[in-house]
Amino acid sequence: MMMIKKSVQAAINDQIQIEQSSSYLYLAMSAYCESENLKGFAHWLRLQAEEETSHAMKFYQHLLDRGGIVELKQIDAPGLKFGSMQELFEKVLAHEIMVTEKINKLYELAIKEKDYPLQVLLHWFIEEQVEEEANAGEIVEQLRMIGDKSSSVFYIDKKMAKR
């Protein structure tokens, strides 16, 4: 017997795909940074990929705990090239803004469907997205300030390795 509405189950499955796609994107970006010999940026992005997988697993477990069915969906390949570090992190920021919009829509659905357990879970994600956007935004601003100065990019790369 299912304890969760089908509309909510479908939306959570969609969110699992979004979180796993985010992980895949950040892992591809990490590999790109490695190929550019920017190991600090690669490290930061690899940790970000792991974090996104953990986000997917929170939704996965929530669905299972409530008697829902997990339906894993296809994840598209994210690509191989991402441009300069500024361009790459502008893509990270844009991606996090998109994820925030998806979380907000999921929250709106939870309110509409009076799904209180999902609302409680989503409070954590809403706060997490504020942090995600702030972190990506800070990196974008630092990279904008330095422009194409390679020595400054290497300095930030070393800083990113300490995450």
Residue 16, in any domain of the structure: yes
Residue 30 placed within a domain: yes
Domain range enclosing 23: 6-160
The pLDDT value recorded for residue 148 is 65
**1 is a domain residue:** no
List the structure tokens of 15.
Answer: 């969110």
User: How distant, in Å, are the alpha carbons of 30, 85, 86, 88 from that of 147?
Assistant: 21, 10, 8, 13
Question: Cα 146 to chain center, whole Å?
Answer: 25
Nearest to 58 by CA among 20, 99, 101, 98: 20
Do the beta carbons of residue 63 and residue 69 sit within 8 Å?
yes
Domain contains 113: yes
Structure tokens belonging to residue 17: 């795909």
Identify whether 18 is part of a domain. yes
Asked if residue 24 belongs to a domain, the reply is yes
At 15-47, the pLDDT tens digits run 999 999 999 999 999 999 999 999 999 999 999
45: domain CATH number? Answer: 1.20.1260.10
Residue 119 included in any domain: yes
User: Global pTM?
Assistant: 0.91
The answer to whether the beta carbons of residues 70 and 20 sit under 8 Å apart is no
pLDDT at 119: 98
pLDDT band at 84 (very low <50, low <70, confident <90, very high): very high
Q: How many domains does the chain have?
A: 1
In which band, very low, low, confident or very high, does the pLDDT at 149 lie, cut at 50, 70 and 90? low
The Cβ-side half-sphere exposure at 155, using a 13 Å CA radius, reads: 9
